[in-house]
Homo-oligomer: A and B are copies of this chain.
């Protein structure tokens, strides 16, 4: 088993993650994180958000570089399409979360991945955001994610990876369950 374990390399440092779990079990206050973004309006429906600093493990942390994201509406909404729509960013977050989870779980289960592709679709009736019908919600009415995974594993084992990734996914939880959002004006 140890030989097999050494051969499997999905690029995820599972030992470090298990070490972090052990350390945070002893010192759970380190597990309090704050993730941040700042957003500046550019014009029209176009805005630019920056992501860099966050809080965790008891102190201020930082990404290696600042990440910058343009968000806009498409031309069919009479906008200039300078970036992905806000709801597409949510799909990107879900895709990244579930895919990272698949890789981490595969490493832990000693399954070598060769490729992982996820296709996401969020359906929405825009009668909600346009205020045409107050019975229609603003957000997605349904999200579908389809994984195509090539790995040294049976179909059942691959389905097990995806199921475990879902179970521990932050963004899956954020979309499927309600979260308080407080909006204030300074």
Mark A residues whose CB is within 8 Å of B. Answer: 10-13, 16-17, 20-21, 24-25, 28, 31-41, 43-47, 49, 51, 54, 56-57, 61, 63-64, 67, 69, 71-79, 81, 83-100, 102-104, 113, 115-133, 137-149, 155, 158-159, 162, 166, 168-186
A54 and B120 alpha carbons, distance in the complex (Å): 11
A155 to B134 CA separation, bound complex (whole angstroms): 28
Q: Please, how many angstroms separate the alpha-carbon atoms of A30 and B182 in the complex?
A: 33
| Min CB gap A104→B, angstroms | 7
Report if A126-B24 is in contact (Cβ < 8 Å); known contacts: A40-B116, A120-B39: yes
Check A103–B170 contact: CB distance below 8 A.
no
Q: Are B63 and A137 in contact (CB under 8 A)?
A: no
**CB–CB B47/A182 < 8 A:** no
Pick 5 A–B contacts, CB within 8 A, sort by A: A28-B127, A38-B119, A67-B84, A87-B171, A131-B168
Query: In the complex where A63-B84, A84-B51, A132-B25 touch, is A56 in contact with B126 (Cβ < 8 A)?
Result: yes
Contact yes or no, A45 B144, CB < 8 A: no
Contact B92 A141 (CB under 8 A): no
The verdict on A104 contacting B145 (CB below 8 Å), with A93-B86, A179-B176 known, is no
Inter-chain CA distance A11–B82, complex, in Å, is: 13
Residues of B with C-beta under 8 A to A126? 24, 31, 33, 56
Q: If the complex has contacts A36-B121, A96-B47, A98-B183, are A176 and B178 also in contact, measured as CB distance less than 8 A?
A: yes
